[in-house]
Structure 1
C-alpha cells in the first residue's frame, strides 16, 4: 500500500511550479493549509525536508530536487494512464492527424490512407506535410498522433520505417552536364544549389537544410515541389528523392549528374508516436498498413 497519494505529490509539484505555498494554493484552488498538510505528509513519511525558506522564497533542498525528479515520472505516468482510459472509453477515434515528410513516396502514403478510410470511412484524416525536423517537433508538441520523419525521438518513440534514395540532378540543359568528366564536390559548389528548409520552428542555428553543400550560390525553398520545379527550369542543381522525380527522369526533364563519388544518397525515415497504448484502432491500422507497404523499400536499401 502506498503511503503517499498522487494528490499529495501533485501538491508538492504545485509548490515548485508556482514558487510557494500561497501561490500554489491559488493555482490549484486549494486552501493553503491543504497544500501545507500534503507536503508535510510527504516529509514526515520520507523523513526528509523538501523545502527551506530563504527570505521570501520557498526553495527546494537537495533532497527535494531529487524527489522532484523521481516523482515527476510518477505523475507523468498517471497522466498517461488517464489519457489511455479516456481513449478506451471513446472507442474509435473521430480523427487521425499525421505528419509526413515530403520525401516519403506519395503512392504508398495514399494507398495506406485509402485502406484506413475503407474500414473507417467516417474518420477525419488530417495530413500535414513536413520537412526534416518538423514532423518530430509536431509529435513532441502533441499536434499529431503519428509522424513519418527523418528525425528520431529515440528508442521506444521511433522505429525505422524505410530508406529513401536521392540522386544529384539538374536540367539536361544545365552547364554541369557539359562537363565531360565526373564532377567533383568543388565543381558543384561553384554552381547554384537548391535546398529545402527545415519546417520545424526551432531557431535558425539548429535548423538543417537538406543536402546543402555550402555552395557559393544557394536558393532555399520551403517545399520539395518548389525545388523540383526550379531544377526542371534549369535554375540550379539538387539532391532529390528518386521516387518523386522518376517521371521527370523518364521524360528527360531532369538528368542525373555524373559525380566522382556519392552519385546517390539515402535518408532514413522513422515512424514516430509518443505512446503506443494511447493510439486508437484507426491509428494502429495506419501503422500496420504503412509498415507493410514499406517492406519493399526497406529490402531495397
Structure 2
C-alpha cells in the first residue's frame, strides 16, 4: 500500500503540516491548492484512514498523521540526500555518512571515533554538522543525517546514552563577578551580561540555561562563547571539559550559584530504525560509544 504513495504526495503531506494548511503549502510548493489537497486526499484513500481533520480553518493531524510525520520527513530528506550523492558521484568515493553532533559533545571523542571508523571504511565521505540544542533533532527528522548526537532526539528513533556533560557557570578572571565572595543569587546576576549559544534548530527553539538577565549576547558556536567569556564580556554556562585548561590557569572563574552549582546534560546517539542493521552506522555507533565508556571510566577513577 505504501509503495503506491509517491514522493510528491509525501511532500504535499509534510508541507501541509509545516505550513499550516493547504493554501500555504501550495504557495510553498508553487502548486495550486487543489493539487495539494488532491495529493493528500489520494494518500488518505490509499491508506484507508484520514491524515487530517479540519478544525475551523486549519488542518490538524490525526493520530495516524502524527505517527507518519517524522518518517515522512526522513524519507524526503533521504531522497534529497541520495540525489545529491548521485550528482556528486566520483569513482572511489562510493558513499557518504552524515552526522549531526551537538557542540557540547567532546571533540576529542568524536575525532577518535571517526578515525577508527575511517580505518575500516576509508573511502567514505563524512559530512559533519555542528549543532546546538534542537538542531541535531531537526536534521535527523528531516533525513539530512544518518546519525545524531544531542541531548534530545525525536521519538521513534533508536537511541542510546553516551555520557553526561557537566556544565559550569563561569566568568573571566577580570570580570566583576569573579571577585564575589559567597553564593550568588539570581538577583546578583541580573545586571550582568550572559553569553548563550543560539539554538541551531528552528522548529523547537530552546533557551536552555538562560537565567533571565537584562543583557544577553547570543553566539553560534562554543568557541565564540568561550572566547567572549574569557575576555570578560559576560558569564556563561560552558562544558567543563572544554574549559578545564582555562580554569586551571586561572583565566576563568567558577561562580558559586546558590540555586545550582552545575548542570549535567545527558547526550544520546540516535539513528533511524531502518539503519539498525547498517554495518557502517553500527560501526560508528559502537566506536563512539566505546570511547565514551572509556571517558566515563576515567572520570569515575
Does TM-score exceed 0.5, indicating one fold?
Answer: yes
Corresponding residue SS for 1:227? helix
Q: What corresponds to 2:118 in structure 1?
A: 117
**CA offsets, 1:144-172, max 9 Å, x none?**
10000111213543322211001110011
Displacement after TM superposition at 1:276 (Å): 4.4
Q: What corresponds to 2:55 in structure 1?
A: none
Q: What corresponds to 1:161 in structure 2?
A: 162
Compare CA radii of gyration and give the structure with the larger one.
1
**CA offsets, 1:120-155, max 9 Å, x none?**
111111111000000010001111100001112135
Task: Tell me how far apart the structure 2 counterparts of residues 70 and 217 of structure 1 sit (CA, whole Å).
Answer: 39
Q: Alignment RMSD, CA only?
A: 3.8
Conservation of the 8 A alpha-carbon contact between 2:229 and 2:235: yes
**CA offsets, 1:210-261, max 9 Å, x none?**
3100111111111111110000100000110001111211222111112224
Structure 2 matches for 1:53-202, cutoff 5 A? 94-154=95-155, 156-202=157-203
**CA offsets, 1:11-32, max 9 Å, x none?**
9x97xx799xx969x97xxxxx
Q: Give the 3 Å change call, closer, same or farther, for CA 23–213 of structure 1 in structure 2.
A: closer
Displacement after TM superposition at 1:105 (Å): 0.4
Conservation of the 8 A alpha-carbon contact between 1:192 and 1:217: yes
Corresponding residue SS for 2:169? strand
Task: Tell me how far apart the structure 2 counterparts of residues 117 and 221 of structure 1 sit (CA, whole Å).
Answer: 32
Q: What corresponds to 1:262 in structure 2?
A: 260
Q: What corresponds to 1:31 in structure 2?
A: none
Corresponding residue SS for 2:206? coil
1:221 aligns with 2:219: yes
**CA offsets, 1:164-214, max 9 Å, x none?**
001110011110122222211221222110011100022xxx411331001
Task: Tell me how far apart the structure 2 counterparts of residues 124 and 139 of structure 1 sit (CA, whole Å).
Answer: 18
Task: Tell me how far apart the structure 2 counterparts of residues 289 and 278 of structure 1 sit (CA, whole Å).
Answer: 15
In structure 1, the gaps of 5 or more residues are 28-34, 51-64, 87-91
Conservation of the 8 A alpha-carbon contact between 1:108 and 1:294: yes
Displacement after TM superposition at 1:265 (Å): 0.8
Conservation of the 8 A alpha-carbon contact between 2:95 and 2:123: yes
Corresponding residue SS for 2:233? coil
Q: What corresponds to 2:285 in structure 1?
A: 287
Conservation of the 8 A alpha-carbon contact between 2:165 and 2:267: yes
